[in-house]
Amino acid sequence: MSDINIKALIETIKDLPEEKQETILYLAEIFPDEEDTITNYVKNELNR
């Protein structure tokens, strides 16, 4: 998990409820090379 990618993900999810943040960070742990994909999903689908 790259520090830059995880920092971008944390910045993206900071305004979401804590439960959603935990779930997204858990997914980033399970899929360590997919932080960019997860970040893009959150930006497009959850931060509306």
Q: What is the pLDDT of residues 1-48, one digit of tens each?
A: 578 888 989 999 999 999 999 999 999 999 988 999 999 999 998 765
Residue 12: both structure tokens together: 């993206």
Per DSSP, the residues of 1-48 read --HHHHHHHHHHHTTS-HHHHHHHHHHHHHSTT-HHHHHHHIIIII--
Domain coverage including residue 41: 3-46
pLDDT of residue 44: 92
Number of independent structural domains in the chain? 1
Rounded to whole angstroms, the Cα distance separating 1 from 13 reads: 17
Question: Would the pTM of this model clear 0.85, i.e. be above it?
Answer: no
Model confidence pLDDT, tens digit, residues 4-16: 888 989 999 999 9
